[in-house]
Amino acid sequence: MNTGIRIGLIGGILAVSLSGAGTFKENIKEPGNAFAGAYAEEAESDFFVRKIEDSSFNVQGTADSDISGRETANAAAVVKKIDGKWYYLLDGKIQKCGWATVGGKKYYFNKTTGAALTGVRTISGYTYVFGASDAVMKKSCYYKNAAGLRFYLLSNGRAAKGLYTYTTGGAEYISYFNGDGTVKVSELWKMDDEKWYYFKSNGNAAVGGRFKTADGKVLYANADGTLIHKGWTTIGGKKYYFSKNNSSAFLGIKTISGYTYYFDKNGVLQTDLYYQTDDGLQYYFKSNGRAAVGAATYKNKAGTTVISFFNGDGTIIKEGFGESDGKLYYLKASGYAATDSLFKLPADGKYYLAGKDGVISRDGLKWYNSELYYFDTVTGAASVGIKSVNGDYYVFGKDGKAYRNQVRHEGEKYFKLDENGVAQAGFIESGDYLIFCNKNGTIKKDCIFTYQGKTYCASASGIIRRTGYFKYNISDTEYKLFYFDETTGAAITGFKIGTFLGVEGRGMFFDPKEATGYRTGFQNYNGATYILDKRGVAQAGFYSDDENKKLYYCNEQNYKLVKGQTKFTFANVEFPMNTDGSLEYLQAKALSTDKNSVVLAIGFTQMYKPVIKNAAPLGTDLSEVNGYTCTAFIGHVYYNAGINIGLQDIVPTCIKKGFAMND
């Protein structure tokens, strides 16, 4: 029973016509042709035709154009079944008229036998369906016979060709009718650029959901049967990519706009997934679905969190380095990055440090497990040997560890390393020798240098002099005198007695800050005063200060100026003493008998021709002065410690008890 009919045509207005070519006999296909079996009882069902979706079928005219006038209201006009066939009787006579409308129903009566056609028939090039039980032409309905032939019949009864939505058995379907009893089956069909359909094996278009074709394609149909075919699409929170060429969802590994993606067997985009193909290609698909290029952290098949470096083409780095986003990784033979470890590469014998995140340290100086390393800022390799960092020097062993709290001898260089491994400038004991190393490991050689406010001398071989007195030749005519401490090697600033300038027992006051290396004149040191001549030689015995007309006396053993007394006695002569140690020689007086009188002093001042050449030696008893010149006159007198410093114009003087002393 027909419940309703709506017919539409995409692209134009449908007009039907029965016009055709040839005779009636030629254009009526009998049983045994392509519609064999069409006479079997058809399975009629309720149907509802919604629309016609194809314009490929185009006819003109009306269905009754070739049988006009044949319909009659004559009461004698009947369609009657005789011997199992239907005939059109008019006034009791069988009509052999072809098309005829009787009682508002259409038939086709054989023009030779008059028998009404039943089943599927082709008339004048058009296909029609006539009821097997009543021979009435079917129209505006979906029809399927027992042989499986399927038609959609227009309002003029002709089998349509095209896409139609219809209702049968209470359900709505979409099919594409070829017009010859067949429909598209297991076929993807493009109606136009906007509409694609897929007809299943039963000829019905897939609607409302995802499905898979017999050849493995995954498609997604809308409720109206049209397929999604415009690239990226999100359905139910899941992403798909549908081909713009055939509407099929991408499956497996695909490249889209230069990026690689992986879609599962249902076409769903996979994210946060490690995937290995059957042929061993490996990928990691990130949260956006794109295949990672570079380092990625993921869980492997064993459920272990690992890091790999993906090239993006299915290959991963093994036994090598990979860098991405400015971070360096080392991938082991397993393809997993080294993590949280210090490891040695057999290839170069160097050590590297991988963090918990797998990133190779390129931090320069870095402490690890209480040891200091230097990891190259480019390669990440731990430095070995001498390394300069921001002006500081370090020495690293073959294991990359910095040497600390020790002295290292590297080739011709020496390093004095502190607790942090930083090389410090300073002295190093090397066997019986002392050397001085700079921060950069070089040692001082053949030079005078100052360190921590003290002066030292390094020989040509770098040995620090600890030899005491040393004459340093600045040039052929210039020199500087030093006294280097026998233990520390530091040039002392102070008074020393020794063999100086070739004379044993001399006293000198050394000072490395002086251009000559020694001091002259009056010098105080450790509570004592010394008098030094212009050569720096300390005076012993009497010394006259010609400029100030003062007389002093220095100890003959330690060269200290005698002072701190009110009077001073020498050779039985007593001198009043001033607080500065100077002697009031004009008030000197003899304290003993003549026989104890001795020559007080022999002295010379000013460079003039001598008057006296025969002075008595110091300490000569007066009883033994025969042959010597002696006078009671005292001039500017001093004691010269036995050193003949020149011939001068002051006469020698000898003193006897009771002599008057006049200036």
Looking at this protein, which amino acid is placed at residue 586? L
Model confidence at 630: pLDDT above 60: no
Model confidence at 355: pLDDT above 80: yes
- Same domain? For 241 and 161 the reply is no
Most trustworthy range by pLDDT among 70-84, 290-304, 389-403: 389-403
- Candidates 604, 607, 586, 606; CA nearest to 655 is 586
Contact 607, 648 (CB under 8 A): yes
Cα separations in angstroms, 279 against 83, 268, 275, 276, 282: 73, 22, 12, 8, 9
Give mean pLDDT, residues 361-385. Answer: 97
- Same domain? For 275 and 212 the reply is yes
Q: What confidence category does residue 620 fall into, taking pLDDT thresholds of 50, 70 and 90?
A: low
- Same domain? For 534 and 551 the reply is no
Q: What confidence category does residue 191 fall into, taking pLDDT thresholds of 50, 70 and 90?
A: confident
pLDDT for 572:
64
- Same domain? For 549 and 533 the reply is no
What percent of the chain lies above the pLDDT cut of 90?
A: 63
- Same domain? For 530 and 550 the reply is no
Give mean pLDDT, residues 548-554. Answer: 87
Give mean pLDDT, residues 83-94. Answer: 93
Q: What confidence category does residue 623 fall into, taking pLDDT thresholds of 50, 70 and 90?
A: low
Which residue has 């006034």 as its token pair? 91
Q: What confidence category does residue 18 fall into, taking pLDDT thresholds of 50, 70 and 90?
A: very low
Tell me the per-residue pLDDT of 262-315, one tens digit each, with 9 for 90 and over. Answer: 999 999 999 999 999 999 899 999 999 999 999 999 988 888 999 999 998 899
- Does residue 612 fall inside a structural domain? yes
| The overall pTM is greater than 0.75 | no
- Candidates 287, 239, 286, 281; CA nearest to 264 is 239
pLDDT for 14:
30
Total count of domains within the chain: 4
pLDDT for 628:
43
- Candidates 311, 351, 356; CA nearest to 337 is 356
Model confidence at 92: pLDDT above 80: yes
- Does residue 403 fall inside a structural domain? no
Q: Which residues pair with 241 in a beta bridge?
A: 232
Q: What is the mean pLDDT of the chain?
A: 80
Q: Which residues pair with 524 in a beta bridge?
A: 529
What percent of the chain lies above the pLDDT cut of 70?
A: 77
What CATH number did the domain enclosing 514 receive?
A: 2.10.270
- Candidates 11, 376, 342; CA nearest to 162 is 11
- Same domain? For 19 and 92 the reply is yes
Q: What confidence category does residue 621 fall into, taking pLDDT thresholds of 50, 70 and 90?
A: low
- Same domain? For 113 and 224 the reply is no
- Does residue 424 fall inside a structural domain? no
pLDDT for 148:
87
- Does residue 425 fall inside a structural domain? no
SS3 annotation, 75-118: CCCEEEEECCEEEEEECCEECCCEEEEECCEEEEECCCCCEECC
Round to whole Å and give the CA distance between 574 and 569.
Answer: 4
Residue after which a domain boundary falls, among 373, 404, 432: 373
- Does residue 651 fall inside a structural domain? yes
- Same domain? For 245 and 126 the reply is no
Contacts of 309 (CB under 8 A, 6+ apart): 294, 295, 296, 316, 317, 322, 324, 329, 331, 337
Tell me the per-residue pLDDT of 511-531, one tens digit each, with 9 for 90 and over. Answer: 999 999 999 999 999 999 999
- Same domain? For 623 and 510 the reply is no
- Same domain? For 47 and 116 the reply is yes
Q: Tell me the HSE value of 538 on the side-chain side, using a 13 A CA sphere.
A: 30
Q: Which is higher by pLDDT, 42 or 192?
A: 192
- Does residue 435 fall inside a structural domain? no
- Same domain? For 36 and 154 the reply is yes
Lowest mean pLDDT among 5-19, 114-128, 226-240, 359-373: 5-19
Model confidence at 47: pLDDT above 60: no
Model confidence at 612: pLDDT above 90: no
pLDDT for 540:
92
Structural domain range at position 272: 206-373
- Same domain? For 467 and 353 the reply is no
- Does residue 402 fall inside a structural domain? no
* Degrees to nearest 5, angle at CA 374 with 370 and 379: 135
